Structure 1
Amino acid sequence: MTGESEFLRAARIVLSDSARPMTARELTDKALERGLLPDKFSGKTPHQTMKSKLSVHIKTQGEQSEFARADPGKFSLRNMIANPYRTKQKEHHREQVLVFPARALDKLGRFQGIDRKWKRYAKHILTANTCTYMERMEAECNNEYKQVLCYILVTKGDHLLAFNRGSYSRTEDMLRGRACVGFGGHASNVDFDLFSGFDLGLTSCAIRELGEELSLPVPDLARLNARSGLEIIGALNDDSSAIGKRHFAFIFRYEVSDDPKWSKPERGERGITQLRWLCPPRDQLPLHEFEYWSQMCLRTFYASSVHAQPSFRIRRRRPLAPPHVLVMLGGIGSGKSEATKVLVDEFGYNEINSGRVLAQILGIPPVTESNRQRFQRTAWNFISTSEGPRQLAKAIWEQVFKGSSERILIDGIRQRTTLAALREFAAGRRLGIVFIHTPPDIAYKLYSQRDDSRIHDVHDFLNIRNESVEEEVLSLISEADAVVYNWFGRLAYHRVLRELIGATSSIRTDHGTTKRGRNQ
C-alpha cells in the first residue's frame, strides 16, 4: 500500500468514526493512536504530510473528492457536510456580491431599522430582474447599489448565541471588540446553484456563513443541508452611516440541534471570540456593549430583556475633576443640549457654544432649524481649510480665557483637528472630554420631539446628521474621558448626568490621588 493511500485511508476511517471536522494534526494523532498509520511515520512530521495529501486530493479531484474543507483548516468527508468550505479568494476585490439598485428600496418604502414584514422585500428584491452581481470592492464604493447580506441569530430554546469580533477580523472597525449576536456576510455568486434560485442563494449564503464562522456539529450540518431549523424573521436597513447605506440584510434565526457539543460552542474563524450563550428572559443585556445591528435585533426580538436605561462609563478620571474645561461631544440628536442645560443649571458651568463662536467668525446668523443645512455647509467650507480648525479653537479659547469660572463647558466641536488645536491652547489647564452616545434611531426620535424640529421623517434627520461637517463626530468617542449612553427616559438621563458629575467632583487632584466614584 502506498504512503498516499495509507494517509487517505486513515483519514477516511477517523473522520467517519469521529463524525466531525478535524485538523490535519488531530487526524494524524488519532490515526497513529489507533495504529492506522505505520510506526515509521511517528518520528517525522506526519501531520504536514496528512494536510498535503488531503489538500492535493481536494484540489485535483474537486467535487469528486470524498474529502472537503468543512471550516478553515479543518477537513471532513464531503457527504457529512452541507456546504464545503471554499477557500476565500486572495484577491478580495474579485469576489462577486449580490446587489440591487438602492432606488428599488425607495419604491417599496425605505425604512430605518428592522421590519418584521420581510416578505414584501424578499419578493421584490430577490429577483433576477432586480439583482445583479458586482465586484465587492466596486460595490463598497458605489452608493447607487445596496449589497445583500444575511444576518443570522443562533438560538437554543430561550438562549441566544453571542460573541465578540476579535482583532483578527477584517470587518469594519465599528465591529471590532464589540459584542455581537449576528453571524453572516455577503450573498455572492458562489451561493447560487440549482437549489437556490428562489432566493438567489440567500439561504445558501446563510448556511455557508454559519459553516465558516462556527464549527458545526454533524447533526446541524445535516439539518442545514435539508434547510431545516433556518428561517427568515426580518429585514434590516441602516442608512445611519456610509457603510450602512450600502447594505441591506435579511435576518435569519437558526435553532440549533440538541447535540451536546452546543453546550460549549466552537468558533470556525479566528475573528470570532468569546462565544457564549445569553439567556434574554433571565439576563439583563446592557445594550451599549453590543454593536448597532445587534442592538436593533435585541430591541426588536428581545425587547423585554434589554437594559436600555441611560448609563455612563468613566475611562480617565483625572481630566474630569474640576476646576477644568469640559468639552461635550456627540452627534445631532444625541442629547448634548439637554446635558449642557443640566450642567449649566445645576452645577454652575459656564457654556461656550462653538457653533455661535463660528457664526461670529463667519459673520452669519447662528444655526437654527430653518437654516441648519445651509449653516452646516458654510461651516464645512471654513473648517476644511488649513487654518480653519485652529482659528476656531483660538476663538473658543479666548472665550475660555475671559471667564473666571472653575467650570467651563464647550459644546459643539465636530472635528478632530479643532479638538487637537484646542488641546494646544489648553496646555497647562485640565481639559476633560465627555461623549454622549445615542443610537441613530433613538437620536431621531429624541430630535423629532423638539419643539423647533422641522424634519419630516428619519431620512430627513439622517441627511442632516450625515452632512460632511458631521462626519467625524462619532469617531471622536475614542477621545472621550467619559461616555454617557443615552436612551429613552429624560428623568433617568438627568439622573445619570448628576451621578457622573458627582463621581468626578469627588476626585482629589492633589498628588495625583483620587477618590473612587461610580463607574458603570
Structure 2
Amino acid sequence: MSEFLNIASEVLRRVSHPMSANAIWRWAENEQMIPDDFAGKTPTATLRSKLSVHILRNGESSPFVRTASGKFYLRELLDSKWKPYQAARLEPPGRNEQVLVFKTELLDQAGRFQGIKKSCARLYRELLRPDKITYLPRVNAEARDDHKQIVTYVMVTSGEKLLAFKRGNYTRTDRFLRGSHCIGFGGHVVNADLTFFNNADSGVRDSAIRELSEELTLPESDRKRLPEHLELVGALNDDSSAVGRRHFAFIFRYEVASPEEWKQPQRGEKAVTELRWLDPTRPDFVMPQFEYWSQLCLRVFYAGAVRAEPWFFVRRRKAFTNLNMLCILGPVASGKTEATQVFKNDYNYSEVNSGRTLAGLLRIPPVPQTPRLEFLSKALKFIKTPTGPDRLATAMWEKAKALGQSRVLVDGIRNRATLDALRRVAGSSRLALIYIHTPADIAFDFYIEREGKPISIEEFIQIRESSVESEVVEMIEDADAVLYNWTGKPNYKQTIHAMIRDTGLHI
C-alpha cells in the first residue's frame, strides 16, 4: 500500500472509530506520523482519493471500508455499531474495448527475451501477421496469462532532449505506467485502429499515432509529418511482474518538427501531468522517479548519457536518531548482503540474519544447503501459522540482545507480519528500515553472479514471486530510507557509505 494508506490504517487502528480523510490527516499530523518528504497543497484530498480508489479496486479484499459518505474505517474492526456503506461506483473509460493480443507461446517460438530488443523488424512482422493476432475484451485480457496485449510506447525527442510527464491515476493505462514519471506515450492497440489500409501491422503504427495525438496537443506541422517520421526503434518484453507478463510493447521514436513550437508542450488528456523536456545528461537526473519501462528505455537508448549510478533517498530522518536496531529489507538478489557487509565490516554493526534464524526454528540447514524454493515453501508454511511471525521476531530479538552490541542490524525480513511482530517485541526500542530496490533485470544478473550457476529469467521470477517473497516489494512503503541499486558493486558500496554518513549511522 502507499504511504497515505499506511498512515490511514495506523490512525484508524489507534482511534478505533470511522473518520473522514481530513480528520485522519489532522490526527496523523498531531502524532507526527507524516514523513519529512511529504509535500503538496491538498494531502487530505489525496488521502481521500487513495482510500476511495483502493476500496473501488479491491472491494471486500480491501482492508478499508466506508461506513457513511466520506467516512472511512478498517474492515476488520467493523461491528454492530458500524456497517459497510456502498458508494456509487464510477467506471473508468475503456473497460469494454477490444484489445489486440497474441498467444504468449508465439514469443517463445520467436525467442523470448527480458527487457528491450532493438533489432525487432522481423519480430514486428511475425507477431503482427493477421493469422497470429486476435482481439479480446480488455477486461478478460487483463486476467489471462496465455495472451499478451500489444501496446505502443512512443518517445518524443527534440535533439538531445526527451519529453517526460507524469501519468495520473484515472486513466486507461495499467499499473506499470500509472502514477509515475514516464517518457513513453501510448496505450493499447484496439480493434478501432484496424483499417483496410493498415492490415499489414494490424493497425499498430496507426494506434501509436492516435495515442500520441490524443495525449498531446500537436502543432499542425507535426500532425502532418507524424505518420512518415514515426520510427520503430525496439520491442519491450517484461516478465518481471504479473502485469508486465500480460503486455508486449513496440517502442517508437518521434523527433519534433520545430523545437521552437515545442518550447511549451501542451497535453491533450488530463491524465498527462507535469509535462516537461528532460535532459538525461544533467548531473541531477534521477532515474528512480521513472516507471520501470521508462528506466529500461533510458538505459538502452540513452546508455551513454544517463548516469545510472546508485542513489538513495531518506524519507524519515528522525527514524535514525537514538536507534536500537536497523532492518535491511528488499527482494531476492537486490544487494542486501553487500549492504550488510558494509555495515559489519566498516561500521562495526553486528548482524542477525532472519533466514538463518528461521532455519534454526525449522530445524533445517539454511540456503544454499537447503534448496531455495524448498526453503521458501517451508518458510511460508511457518509464517502462515498463528504464532509464526511472533516466534521468528522473538528469536531475532533474543539474538540481538545476546550480541550485547549497540549497533545491530537484521537482514532479510520478508513480510509485514514479522516486521510488526518485531516492533511489538522491541517495545519502546527504536527500529529503522532501509529498503534496497534493484530492477528485476539487474537483480537477475546479480543472482546469476552470486549463485555461480545458470538459471533462466523464468526460474528467477518464480523465486522472486514465490508466496513468501510476495510482500517484500510492498514493504518499500514502510522504509525510512530507500537505496536504489543500478550498477556494479564498487559504485554501489560508495552509495551505501554516502547514505550511512547522511543518516548519521556512522556516528
**Does TM, normalized by the shorter one, top 0.5?**
yes
**After superposition, where does 1:135-146 map in structure 2 within 5 Å?**
135-146=137-148
1:105 is matched with which residue: 91, 94, 107?
107
Specify the alignment match of 2:152 in structure 1. Answer: 150
The 3 A distance-change label for structure 1 pair 401 and 313 is: same
Asked if the contact 2:194/2:203 (under 8 Å) is kept, the reply is yes
Structure 1 range deviating more: 246-255 or 366-375: 366-375
Specify the alignment match of 1:134 in structure 2. Answer: 136
Asked if the contact 2:352/2:396 (under 8 Å) is kept, the reply is yes
Q: Which secondary structure does the structure 1 equivalent of 2:408 belong to?
A: strand
Q: Which secondary structure does the structure 1 equivalent of 2:242 belong to?
A: coil
**TM-aligned CA deviation for residue 359 of structure 1:** 1.5
Question: What are the Cα deviations for residues 113-138 of structure 1, in whole angstroms up to 9, with x where unaligned?
Answer: 10011112112211122111111111
Distance (whole Å) between structure 2 residues aligned to residue 134 and residue 104 of structure 1: 17
Question: What are the Cα deviations for residues 208-255 of structure 1, in whole angstroms up to 9, with x where unaligned?
Answer: 11122111122222223xx22101100000111111111110000112
Q: Which runs of 4+ in 1 moved over 6 A?
A: none
Question: What are the Cα deviations for residues 444-474 of structure 1, in whole angstroms up to 9, with x where unaligned?
Answer: 1222222x33333333322211222212211
Question: What are the Cα deviations for residues 35-71 of structure 1, in whole angstroms up to 9, with x where unaligned?
Answer: xxxxxxxxxxxxxxxxxxxxxxxxxxxxxxxxxxxxx
**TM-aligned CA deviation for residue 176 of structure 1:** 4.4
Specify the alignment match of 1:235 in structure 2. Answer: 235
The 3 A distance-change label for structure 1 pair 389 and 170 is: farther
TM-score, length-scaled by structure 1:
0.76
Asked if the contact 1:133/1:189 (under 8 Å) is kept, the reply is yes
- How well do the aligned residues superpose, as a CA RMSD in angstroms? 2.2
**After superposition, where does 1:241-280 map in structure 2 within 5 Å?**
241-258=241-258, 260-280=260-280
Specify the alignment match of 2:497 in structure 1. Answer: 498
**After superposition, where does 1:157-306 map in structure 2 within 5 Å?**
157-169=159-171, 171-172=173-174, 175-224=177-226, 227-258=227-258, 260-281=260-281, 285-306=285-306
Specify the alignment match of 1:56 in structure 2. Answer: none
Asked if the contact 1:432/1:481 (under 8 Å) is kept, the reply is yes
**TM-aligned CA deviation for residue 494 of structure 1:** 1.5
Specify the alignment match of 2:475 in structure 1. Answer: 476
**TM-aligned CA deviation for residue 323 of structure 1:** 3.6
Matched letter for residue 374 of structure 1: E
Distance (whole Å) between structure 1 residues aligned to residue 418 and residue 151 of structure 2: 37
Question: What are the Cα deviations for residues 148-204 of structure 1, in whole angstroms up to 9, with x where unaligned?
Answer: 110110112222101112354464555444321111111111111112101111011
Specify the alignment match of 2:365 in structure 1. Answer: 365
Q: Which secondary structure does the structure 1 equivalent of 2:236 belong to?
A: strand
Matched letter for residue 129 of structure 2: T
Asked if the contact 2:149/2:188 (under 8 Å) is kept, the reply is yes
Asked if the contact 1:322/1:407 (under 8 Å) is kept, the reply is no
Specify the alignment match of 1:325 in structure 2. Answer: 325
Distance (whole Å) between structure 2 residues aligned to residue 143 and residue 476 of structure 1: 26
The 3 A distance-change label for structure 1 pair 252 and 275 is: same
Structure 1 range deviating more: 154-163 or 378-387: 378-387
Specify the alignment match of 1:442 in structure 2. Answer: 442
Specify the alignment match of 2:28 in structure 1. Answer: none
Structure 1 range deviating more: 144-153 or 467-476: 467-476
Matched letter for residue 289 of structure 2: E
**TM-aligned CA deviation for residue 268 of structure 1:** 1.3
Q: Which secondary structure does the structure 2 equivalent of 1:432 belong to?
A: strand
Specify the alignment match of 2:410 in structure 1. Answer: 410
Q: Where in structure 1 are there 5+ consecutive unaligned residues?
A: 1-88, 509-520
Specify the alignment match of 2:350 in structure 1. Answer: 350
Matched letter for residue 308 of structure 1: A
Q: Which secondary structure does the structure 2 equivalent of 1:306 belong to?
A: coil
Question: What are the Cα deviations for residues 259-286 of structure 1, in whole angstroms up to 9, with x where unaligned?
Answer: 7431100111122111111234566632
Specify the alignment match of 1:6 in structure 2. Answer: none
Distance (whole Å) between structure 1 residues aligned to residue 151 and residue 92 of structure 2: 21
Structure 1 range deviating more: 398-407 or 482-491: 398-407
Structure 1 range deviating more: 243-252 or 309-318: 309-318
Asked if the contact 2:94/2:172 (under 8 Å) is kept, the reply is no
Question: What are the Cα deviations for residues 73-108 of structure 1, in whole angstroms up to 9, with x where unaligned?
Answer: xxxxxxxxxxxxxxxx96643211111111111111
Matched letter for residue 136 of structure 1: R
The 3 A distance-change label for structure 1 pair 184 and 370 is: farther
The 3 A distance-change label for structure 1 pair 401 and 170 is: farther
Q: Which secondary structure does the structure 1 equivalent of 2:113 belong to?
A: coil
**Percentage of identical aligned residues:** 47
Matched letter for residue 100 of structure 1: F
The 3 A distance-change label for structure 1 pair 370 and 109 is: farther
Matched residue count: 418
| 1:95 maps onto 2:97 in alignment | yes
Matched letter for residue 485 of structure 1: Y
Matched letter for residue 110 of structure 2: L
Asked if the contact 1:436/1:485 (under 8 Å) is kept, the reply is yes
Q: Which secondary structure does the structure 1 equivalent of 2:468 belong to?
A: helix
**TM-aligned CA deviation for residue 491 of structure 1:** 2.0
Specify the alignment match of 1:375 in structure 2. Answer: 375
Asked if the contact 1:370/1:454 (under 8 Å) is kept, the reply is no
**TM-aligned CA deviation for residue 401 of structure 1:** 3.4
The 3 A distance-change label for structure 1 pair 175 and 182 is: same
The 3 A distance-change label for structure 1 pair 107 and 284 is: farther
Structure 1 range deviating more: 338-347 or 459-468: 459-468
Distance (whole Å) between structure 2 residues aligned to residue 175 and residue 119 of structure 1: 25
Distance (whole Å) between structure 2 residues aligned to residue 384 and residue 488 of structure 1: 35
Distance (whole Å) between structure 2 residues aligned to residue 250 and residue 369 of structure 1: 43
Specify the alignment match of 2:431 in structure 1. Answer: 431
**TM-aligned CA deviation for residue 427 of structure 1:** 2.4
